[in-house]
């Protein structure tokens, strides 16, 4: 006795459908980006920090870019603890 799976589709059709779906998704993502729907908001804290001392920020940026900016692990940990305790 032979049993056939009548709902079985050939692999080529399945692969084509997968490729079409991937292309459609890619086009949708491109259209979304082209339409300018992405958004970013800067927090009030970030705005306050950026306006405080532009020279210091530029100095830090240059240090980070050159690889000379080092932060003590203890100082970082203490800052995190202090910020948490203030909340």
pLDDT for the residue numbered 87: 73
In a domain, 12, yes or no: no
The closest of 60, 79, 56, 78 to 70, measured between CA atoms, is: 60
Counting as low any pLDDT under 50, the low residues of the chain are: none
In a domain, 32, yes or no: no
pLDDT for the residue numbered 39: 74
pLDDT for the residue numbered 65: 92
In a domain, 69, yes or no: yes
pLDDT for the residue numbered 72: 92
pLDDT for the residue numbered 60: 87
Number of domains comprising the chain: 1
pLDDT for the residue numbered 44: 75
Domain limits for position 70: 52-86
Instruction: Tell me how far apart the alpha carbons of residues 11 and 14 are, in angstroms, rounded to a whole number.
Output: 5
In a domain, 40, yes or no: no
pLDDT for the residue numbered 66: 94
User: With contact defined as beta carbons under 8 Å apart, do 62 and 69 qualify?
Assistant: no
In a domain, 5, yes or no: no
In a domain, 62, yes or no: yes
């Amino acid at each position: 006795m032979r049993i056939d799976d009548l709902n079985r589709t050939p692999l080529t059709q399945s692969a084509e459908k997968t490729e079409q779906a991937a292309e459609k998704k890619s086009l949708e993502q491109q259209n979304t980006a082209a339409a300018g729907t992405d958004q970013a908001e800067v927090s009030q804290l970030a705005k306050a920090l950026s306006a405080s001392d532009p020279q210091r920020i530029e100095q830090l940026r240059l240090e980070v870019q050159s690889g000379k900016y080092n932060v003590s692990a203890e100082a970082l940990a203490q800052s995190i603890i202090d910020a948490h305790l203030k909340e």
